[in-house]
Amino acid sequence: MTLDWLKPARRLGSLPPYVFARLDELKANARAEGVDLIDLGMGNPGGPTPAPVVEAAISAIGDESNHGYPPFEGTASFRTTITNWYHRRYGVTLDPESEALPLMGSKEGLGHIAMAYIDPGDVVLVPTPSYPAHFRGPAIAGADIRTIPLKAKNNWIIDFNDISAADANAAKVLYFNYPNNPTGAVAPRSFFEEMVAFAHRHQILLIHDLCYAELAFEGYQPTSLLEIPGAKDISVEFHTLSKTYNMAGWRVGFVVGNRHVIQGLRTLKTNLDYGIFSALQTAAETALNLPDHYLEEVQQRYLERRDFLAKELGTVGWNVVKPKATMYLWIPCPPGMGASDFALLLLQKTGVVVTPGTAFGEGGEGYVRISLIAKCDRLKEAVDRLRQANIRYSRVPTSV
């Protein structure tokens, strides 16, 4: 029996094509043929969750008071841990009752907030390139998405001159993210101040994704949007435990900021889910309270890989800009070559998997993103394979 009478909802049809699909297929084929893939495509941090967090989870799972439905709005204890953490790190004061909401991973919240605040046809400003949930959430909600091009010459920081007056006036919501995935860019405090002034002037809800706040190097301290006076009136900020604490599989994130906006998201979620398993909220508290040396070790790990890979890529002609934060290198494709062609070439000739920039929107054309999720010996192996296949920045075999 075919289901050709059953059409998916139009909102599914509004999603841009999934760039990873062809790459996934080729990856599966290569694996089946026994190719030793070096997968630097995903933003999935390798390595275990810190032992104290795992131990806290094990003991909390044994406690039967955690076995029922968790409270919709997250446990009071986790919410207080979140607001204490914000105060400690950014000097930002938040009310744990109304200005913090735990999420089943920040991606869920980034998508659901679009459903809570965007009606079909509402104008939403989204940078390109950007993390896919920043445009796929609004697309599902039926938004009229107007992209803001991020440019290398601006160090991938939004230039307000690139937003037309018409778009600024029409916009209801703007998503942004610094330290940035995929470009690795960071933005100065003055940029955040400009953004808050822009949002007040045009009455725009700001949605900032602070996912990489802890993965910063050499003393660089990222800015929280909420540090900026007046920001809380018009914004929310998302954060996650996935990257910093190697907890991607646990699905724990949170959003903080404007209480009315958080209330809207909470109302929507009350109708969709029950939030995070209470035992995992207890473990997440342990993560946020880990001593600073833990963070320093994580930062050191990514810093070493960043420097190592940048130097190695230099030996095959890539002049890599070292990011001040994040776990990514954003590297230009050889001249004249498109992002997916280059990613496919790398996969087929070397078994090295990178993400074509176009997975992050059309603004990612001409670049690929390399995740620093492998140890240095594997990163070395990856570059050795490029050298053997004679894939250099200035000279690339012409056929795929």
Q: Which residues bind ligand PLP (CB under 6 A)?
A: 43, 105-107, 131, 177, 181, 209, 211, 240, 242-243, 248, 253
CA dist 169 and 40 (Å) reads 40
Closer to ligand PLP by CB, 373 or 374: give it: 373
Helices marked H in 209-253: none
C-beta of 177: minimal distance to ligand PLP in Å? 5
CB closer to ligand PLP out of 206 and 386: 206
What's the CA gap between 4 and 13, in Å, rounded?
15
Q: In the bound complex, what is the minimum distance in angstroms from residue 38's beta carbon to ligand PLP?
A: 20
> Which residue in 209, 44, 197 sits closest to 114, CA to CA?
209
Output 243 or 349, the one with its CB closest to ligand PLP: 243
What distance in Å separates the CA atoms of residue 150 and residue 187, rounded to the nearest whole number? 12
Instruction: Compute the least distance from the CB of residue 270 to ligand PLP, in Å.
Output: 20
Taking residue 306's Cβ as centre, other Cβ atoms within 10 Å add up to: 23
Whole-number minimum distance, CB 106 to ligand PLP, in Å? 4
Of 210 and 333, the one with the shorter C-beta distance to ligand PLP is: 210
Residue 50: CB minimum distance to ligand PLP, A: 16
Residue 362 and residue 355 in contact, taking contact as beta carbons nearer than 8 Å: no
Of the two residues 100 and 383, which places its CB atom closer to ligand PLP in the complex?
Answer: 100
Closest separation in Å from C-beta 158 to ligand PLP: 15
Distance separating alpha carbons of residues 338 and 341, to the nearest angstrom = 5
Taking the complex as a whole, the smallest distance from the CB of residue 127 to ligand PLP amounts, in Å, to 11
171 closest CA partner among 148, 202, 200: 202
Closer to ligand PLP by Cβ: residue 181 or 246: 181
Q: Are 52 and 290 in contact (CB under 8 A)?
A: yes
Min. distance of Cβ 42 from ligand PLP in angstroms? 9
Smallest distance from the beta carbon of 311 to ligand PLP, in angstroms? Answer: 25
Distance in Å from the first CA to the final CA of the chain = 40
Q: Are 102 and 74 in contact (CB under 8 A)?
A: yes
Break the chain down into helix, strand, coil percent, rounded to 5.
45, 15, 40
CA distances from 195 to 163, 191, 226 (A): 12, 6, 12
The side-by-side arrangement of strands in the sheet containing 367-371 is: 328-332, 367-371, 355-356
180 burial (CB, 10 Å; 0-12 / 13-18 / 19+) is: buried
120 vs 249 by CB, closer to ligand PLP: 249
CB-nearer residue toward ligand PLP: 104 or 168: 104
Both tokens of 180, joined, read: 């940035």
Closer residue to ligand PLP, CB minimum distance, 276 or 345: 276
Nearest alpha-carbon partner for 370 in 362, 361, 379: 379
| 26, 20 contact by CB (below 8 A) | no
- CB-nearer residue toward ligand PLP: 242 or 278: 242
Distance (Å, whole) CA 25 – CA 348: 12
**Shortest Å distance, C-beta 1 to ligand PLP:** 37
